[in-house]
Amino acid sequence: MVTRYTTLAIVLHWTIAVLIIGLLGVGIWMTDLKVSPTKISLYQWHKWVGLTVLLLVLIRLGWRLKHPAPAMPSGMPGWQLLAARLSHLSLYVLMLAMPITGWLQNSASGFPLTWFGLFKVPALIAKDKAAFAFWQQTHEVLATILMALIAVHLLAAIKHGLARDGVFSRMWFAKE
């Protein structure tokens, strides 16, 4: 019986987590800056890292299809199992939706998008002011929901880490 995630799943989890937390922090900060070379640079990096997160999440989902999650402890209450399933599903949906809505927002702005300047990323939709406003607002609302869900996820991780029930150690680098 598998009791831990694979090393690749653990590395992807923590890499994606750090990148998303960074993206959320920079996203909040950069939107209030005056137009400047710094703001433009931050937006560019935000887009590049956002696309990288999308790629890493797709890799993680592909890996997860072939390597299912370890079983939860047998004594875990049903409501916690349901909460875990729903929160993880919601996190995956948001980890995909955030970069896609950002990409749609950028497409509607009409600005060209590249990935780290290495190649051009195609626009998903044509330039459109109304679409830009819609995708911008959608991206911001989803960011707020994602921050709340991350907070719940962190609290659950801390709870399981303190309880030493084996749940936290499944995704940590060292065994409990």
Write the pLDDT tens digit of every residue in 145-175: 999 999 999 999 999 999 988 888 899 987 6
Name every residue whose Cβ is closer than 8 Å to that of residue 53 and which is 6 or more positions away in sequence.
16, 19, 20, 23, 95, 98, 99
104 CB burial (10 A radius; 0-12, 13-18, 19+): buried
Name the residue with higher pLDDT: 174 or 26.
26
pTM summary value: 0.93
> What digits encode the pLDDT tens for the residues 94-147?
999 999 999 999 999 999 999 999 999 999 999 999 999 999 999 999 999 999
The confidence score (pLDDT) of residue 73 equals 87
Q: Where are the alpha helices (DSSP H) in the chain?
A: 7-31, 37-66, 78-109, 129-163
Residue 166 and residue 176: Cα distance in Å, rounded? 7
Residue ranges and CATH numbers for the domains of the chain are: 7-170 (1.20.950)
Q: Are residues 157 and 120 in contact, defined by beta-carbon separation less than 8 angstroms?
A: no
